[in-house]
Amino acid sequence: MAKKNLTIYLCDQCGNEFPVWAGKCAMCGAWNSLKELKLDGASRRKTLDRDIESYKMSEMSDIKSKDFSRIITGISEFDRVMGGGIVPGSISLIGGEPGIGKSTLILQVASAIGDVLYNSAEESVQQIKMRADRLGLGQSKIILLSEPNLEAVLAFARKNKPKLLIVDSIQTIFSDSYESTAGSLIQVRECGIILQQFAKTSGIPVIEIGHVTKEGNLAGPRILEHLVDTVLYLEGERFNDARILRGVKNRFGATNEIGIFSMQEKGMIEVANPSELFLSERQVGPGSVVTVALEGTRPLLVEIQAIVTPTRFGYPKRTSSGFDLNRLNLLAAVISKNGGIDLSNHDIYLNVVGGIRLKEPAADLAVCAAILSSAKNKVVNKNSCFFSEVGLMGETRNVTRKIERERECAKLGFEKIETRSIRELNQLLG
């Protein structure tokens, strides 16, 4: 008797399964996110009836901690984001826009470690070799494989026992256990589960490279991020040399840690002084202000630029790059109320230079200072650095790790730390 096909609906935002379709996911609340998936009977997971005595359980006090050492790549910016190196048996996911440099960075990591199995289902081994030669890595001890079948890749890995397995990319491989095509929701999810089980049972760490959607999220079900230990994003403008490797999830280190690279002809070059890089082309003028942002465990000095012009149409336009637009609108209202200037009939354009995305409230005061400086056409002291959270009454509030921020400012010659309220800032700029 043939087994009936099973139809389920998978949310591509949170990865939860449902027996019937609905317009809204009951778990994460996303609309129109449930996708139909058909599984044949042979691909269903079977529940094995096992005797309870066959299960092995242990008390935590009886378990001995294993001494292990992280795999140090020698690429300090990468090791920093990973929490000090790659943990044996861990599984990591790195995403980013096409052409941003994901494969280049991971190839450099593989070369630094050696004895790495690099599987690319997107490129032939000759194409990978050409890129390695261009980067000066042509003689590295890397085992190259161009195989889309996941079972074949894992069989090869079990036989050769490399220090690290790299899968480029998770959307281009498939498992024989499922009839859907590579890149489908079911294949991405199930291949992620199989790779997770392989890493935990073999002790061989795995790095997966993933594509991103036009919204900037990793393609495939969101459950893929839940399956891995570390999630990294490579960010930056494609026409700008600066690249930011950001850790958004890390079970073995700090989250939101970042590594700074410069994309050059020879690959990703580490930036020894990121603050100096972001301020290297700064031109002092009205609307230009420097702040110190905390990215992970490191303080970074970045420039914020603002242009304030009278509105030519009935509704003022607000545009922001690298800073939350809703927060910008809120700060504009605070300035109008407490700063002595009406911005309701002014357009505001804000830019965080260098591709950095500021999320912490410590940048509030710098944003306000840049807006007031542009609106009044007054230049802010070039040796001043602004950082404080701004409240709705126009007051400023303390931020975390203030001493470390001040040290970073002093290192680059910013001797004057500004934490004035909006009213005091308005008086300062006249």
Mean residue pLDDT of the chain comes to 86
Q: What is the pLDDT of residue 411?
A: 87
* C-alpha–C-alpha distance, residues 408 and 33, integer Å: 44
Q: What is the pLDDT of residues 348-361, one digit of tens each?
A: 999 998 878 898 89
Global pTM value: 0.76
Task: Give the DSSP per-residue string, 354-417.
Answer: TS--B-SGGGHHHHHHHHHHHHHT-PPPTTEEE--EE-TTS-EE--SSHHHHHHHHHHTT--EE
Q: What is the pLDDT of residues 199-233, one digit of tens each?
A: 999 999 999 998 765 555 555 556 788 889 999 98
* C-alpha–C-alpha distance, residues 18 and 26, integer Å: 9
For β-strands 258-264 and 267-270, DSSP reports them as antiparallel
What are residue 316's phi and psi, to 5 degrees? -65, 140
What mean pLDDT do residues 310-316 have? Answer: 87
Q: Which run of H or E residues covers position 103?
A: helix 102-113
